[in-house]
Amino acid sequence: MSQPPDNHYQVAILGGGIAGLTLALILERLGITWTLWESHETISPEIGAGIGLLPNGFRILDQLGLLDRIEKLTVPLETWYHVDENGEPIAVSDAQRYYRFAVGYDARFVERSKLLRIIYDGIDDKSLVRTSMELSRIDQGADYFTIAAVGRIRITANVVVGADGARSSIRKYIGQSIGRQIKKEMQAQFTCIFGMSPGMSELERGEAFAVYHKGATVLAFTGKRVIFWFVFEDLGHTFPLSYNPSYDIADIEEVCQAVGHLHLTPTVKFGDIYANRSSVQKTTLEEGLAEHWHANRMVVVGDAAHKMVPHAAMGANQAIESAAALANELQKLGQVNEGWTTATIATALEKYTQARRDRVATVVSKAGAICRAQLCCPGHDQLVKALPKLSFADWMTQSLFSFRGASRIESLPMTERGKYYEERLKSFFDKWDKACGMVEGIEKPQLTDETFWEMFECGEWKG
């Protein structure tokens, strides 16, 4: 291997969103040299979006020592109301209330900018995070890449990670480097207007409301003195990634006025929440799985690899998991640059892909199915019809399935809560696999609530 120049890192990360920053923090803890370039001028822009964090993401954030700050800012999600357009319940689930007892962590909603700030604050050497970096070129040498930013510095790195979102440049480089045209792997059928409004006395903290309505509808979460809300609109057909309109306030007004009459509860209309908004933005919602996650020492992570609609509240949680899984494989290459050959890196990146692809494919597809059911898309009414029949055990079992098989940081110690997560899930699924086989699906309730509790032998997290 040729001697790398001075400005050399084992890993160059492009993109300082949740995936990129989490990866940077993990690599720092593992002693792997890295630098991160973010094209935006700031690391935690105030875009007024809420992110739902779930136990699988929290377990990794806990390993990184970030849990306390997030918990102090947020409240646990306790009850989820699935309602018709008049706010009358179709189904109510309080399974989320039991997550902490079940696996040690809650579901919680946090402002995206605050989450980014907390992850960033965890990084010791902040000089390695550079903002306003516009990638100009990547040249691949025999042992390392040379990466340049417009009018700025030039660095070299053994591995380039694209944590650069759904419209990833690195994913395109990967396609080009193996002579493959990027196919229609990510497309958009929906748009999302997201915003925040002050809490209302009529709504308790820690509640979620999903209104089932054709064409355009509302999803909302109540936090500490805040309501995070989303308006989804069905575009009627799919658009390629090149479809990326910039929406103005008139576009937002039109859709939000049209759903203003939808009720979250019989007494609270979406229009009342929208009227008090403190922030609002609109975006297209891409969905899909990258066909090629890596090639020639380039790799994608987070939305660049797996983009999903927000309905499973999993995009960021999966981005965090993928960052952990990628770091796990890079760690196994050893600390010394000499271990980082093209062949060993290719094997590591393939192992990372194998570790993540199937799990994340399931989540992308589930999130899409829930979104289509909520928007009453043709052919997706089965899930809505099943809602009133779902028992506590059904909701809980579905959640536990989504926490099962989650990645964590293998070479950092697990906290007591992390161990509890591992033990409880293992104990439950050992029994589940014996009693029910591998059948998964909320259309087929498997357990009575009583049997669920017997099987789960639920402890109580006292941390």
Ligand X SMILES: Cc1cc2nc3c(=O)[nH]c(=O)nc-3n(C[C@H](O)[C@H](O)[C@H](O)COP(=O)(O)OP(=O)(O)OC[C@H]3O[C@@H](n4cnc5c(N)ncnc54)[C@H](O)[C@@H]3O)c2cc1C
List residues near ligand X by CB under 6 A: 14-20, 37-40, 49, 51-52, 133, 135, 163-165, 169, 192, 194, 230, 283, 302-303, 310, 313-317, 319
DSSP secondary structure letters along 418-463? HHHHHHHHHHHHHHHHHHHTT---TTS----HHHHHHHHT------
Instruction: Identify the active-site residue in 81, 212, 420, 421.
Output: 212
Taking a C-beta distance cutoff of 8 angstroms, is the pair 330, 192 a contact? Answer: no
Nearer to ligand X by Cβ, of 55 and 418: the residue is: 55
Q: Could you tell me the smallest distance in angstroms from the CB atom of residue 317 to ligand X?
A: 4
Judged by beta carbon, residue 47 or residue 178, the one nearer ligand X is 47
- Nearest distance from C-beta of residue 193 to ligand X, angstroms: 8
**How far is 403 from 406, CA to CA, in rounded Å?**
6
In the 8-state DSSP scheme, what is residue 343? Answer: H
Residue showing tokens 């989540």: 363
Phi and psi at 409, nearest 5°, equal: -85, 110
**Are 197 and 227 within 8 A, CB to CB?**
yes
Tell me the closest approach of the beta carbon of residue 418 to ligand X, in angstroms.
19
Minimum Å gap between C-beta 457 and ligand X is 29
Q: Is the CA virtual torsion 203, 207, 210, 216 positive or negative?
A: positive
Q: 425-461 burial string, b = 16+ CB within 10 Å, else e?
A: beebbeebeeebeeeeebeeebbeeeebeebbebeeb
Q: Which of 114, 118, 119 is nearest to 20 (CA)?
A: 119
Judged by beta carbon, residue 310 or residue 368, the one nearer ligand X is 310
DSSP output for 228-249: EEEEEEEEEEEEETT--PPP-H
Q: Compare residues 39 and 79 and give the one whose CB is closer to ligand X.
A: 39
Least Å distance between CB 433 and ligand X? 27
Q: Which stretches does DSSP call E strand in 87-225?
A: 89-93, 108-111, 129-130, 135-140, 145-149, 154-162, 186-198, 207-211, 216-222
**What DSSP assignment string belongs to 331-342?**
HHT-SSGGG--H
CB nearer to ligand X: give 371 or 393: 371
Smallest gap from residue 345 Cβ to ligand X (A): 21
Is 49 or 393 the residue whose CB approaches ligand X more closely? 49
Is 9 among the catalytic positions? no
What residues act catalytically? 212
